[in-house]
Structure 1
C-alpha cells in the first residue's frame, strides 16, 4: 500500500514527521509519498517559495525510510487539486491500494474540495484523529464507505473510509511562523536542519 500525505509544509515540522512515521508503521506502507502543494485552493498562498518549501522538506525527510518526496503538484500548472493528484498517482500505480491521509480538520472540510466525491474512486481516505477533535458526519455517504479494520484497506484499491488515532503533536506551521516573526524561539518544534535553513534565508520574518 502507498500512503499519500499532502500539504504546504510551510514549514515542515515534527507534527508532520511524527504522523508520517506512525502511519507508515501502522499500515505497513510500502512507501509514503509527501506531496507539497504549489497553489493550495483552500488556504492562503504559502509564505515561503515553492523551491524553499521543497528544500526544507528534503532536509526533514532525508532520514526517514520509505518516504518519497513527490513533486507532481509543484510541476503542474494551476491549482493543486487533490483529485488531479490522485488520478495521476492511480495511473502510476494501477494495482496498489492508495491511502490518502488527512487530519480531522481537513476531513471536516472535505465536502468543499474540488470533485470531492471522486476522491474515493482513486484512493481510500484515512482520517488521522486525536482526542478532542470531533469529526463531522455525512450520514449515508460516510456510512457506506467506513471500515473498522485497517486490514480491510489492503483488500481494495480505493473507496473506503477509515479513522486512525495517532499521536498528533499540537504543533502548527502558522504558530511557528508567528513565533519567528515575533523573534521567539521555535526550537524542538521542527528539525534543527529546517530551523537553520529558515534562519539562514531569513524566512517568516514578517509572517
Structure 2
C-alpha cells in the first residue's frame, strides 16, 4: 500500500537460514499494510545475538534470490553477508542511513516476538533515531500487545503512529500492520529437513528444490 508517492523503504533482516514462507508472508503483509515502495532484504553474515548460520553465505543468498525473484518491489542488500564481524541492527541501520541520506524514510520490519525483545538489543534506543519500526501483529492487536517491558511501553506510548504516517518523516515512529498468524521458524524447518519430512507448505518451491539439490540441512542443528 503506497498511495503517498513517497519512497519508503522497508527493511527485513535475518539470517534466512533458510528463507521460508513466513519471511515472505511478513514482507507481503508489510507491502499491503504500509506505505512502502519496496522491501529491502538484508541477509546477515554473523549475527551478534544468536548462533552462526548453518548454511554458507553463498547458499543463503542463492535461496533468498530464488524466494524473491519476480517481485519488482523486493531488493536484496548482501553487503553484510561476508563480514566476519558480529552484525547488530544498530550498525546495519547506521550504514543504510549513511548510504541513503537523513531524509529517506526507513522502516524496520519486525515480528511481534522480536519487537518485545528489543530492550535486549545493542543500543536499542538508537534504532528509533535511525528508522521507524513496524510490527507485524494479528488483526486487532496493538504494538507490544502481550507484555512489553516498562521501558518499551514508554517508547510505544510516545512514538505510536498509523502506518500511513510513516512516509511523513525519516524515523522515530512505531506502527503496526496486520499479518495472519504464520507458525514457521527456520529451526523447525531445518529439523524437518533433517528428518526427511515434506516441507513444501513451509518453503517456496524453488528454495526447497535448491536445498535438495545442494543437500543442505541434512543433520539436526541447534535452534537459532
Report the TM-score range of the alignment, normalised by the length of the smaller protein: over 0.9
- After superposition, the Cα gap between the structure-2 partners of 1:44 and 1:75, relative to the gap in structure 1 and judged at 3 Å, is closer
1:115 and 2:123 correspond = yes
SS at match of 2:183: coil
| Alignment match of 1:184 (pick from 197, 218, 221) | 197
Taking the TM superposition and a 5 Å limit, the aligned residue runs for 1:39-188 are 39-94=46-101, 95-130=103-138, 134-137=146-149, 138-147=152-161, 149-188=162-201
Aligned mates of 1:184, 1:178 — CA distance in 2: 9
Deviation at 1:77, TM superposition (A): 4.1
Question: In structure 2, the residue corresponding to 1:144 is in which secondary structure?
Answer: helix
Instruction: Give the SS at the match of 2:31.
Output: helix
Cα drift, residue 195 of structure 1: 0.7
Aligned match of 1:195: 208
- Contact 2:33 / 2:177 at 8 angstroms: preserved in 1? no
Partners of 2:164 and 2:205 in 1: how far apart?
Answer: 36
2:22 to 8, 11, 15: 15
The answer to whether the 8 A contact 1:8-1:38 is kept is yes
Pick one of 1, 7, 32 that aligns with 2:39.
Answer: 32
After superposition, give the CA deviation of every residue in 1:17-41 in whole Å (9 maximum; x if it has no partner): 1211221122231111000111111
TM-score, normalised by the number of residues in structure 2: 0.86
C-alpha contact (below 8 Å) 1:142/1:161 kept by paired residues: yes
Deviates more, 1:116-125 or 1:77-86: 77-86
Where in structure 2 are there 5+ consecutive unaligned residues?
1-7
SS at match of 1:73: coil
15-24 or 50-59, which moves further after superposition?
A: 15-24
Q: Deviations over 1:51-105 (max 9, x none)?
A: 1101100011102221111112214441111111111111222222100001111
Q: So what's the TM-score if we normalise by structure 1?
A: 0.93
The 8 Å contact of residues 97 and 156 in structure 1, kept in 2 or not, is answered as: yes
CA RMSD of aligned residues (A): 1.6
SS, match of residue 34 in structure 1: strand
8 A contact 1:107–1:135 mirrored in 2 = no
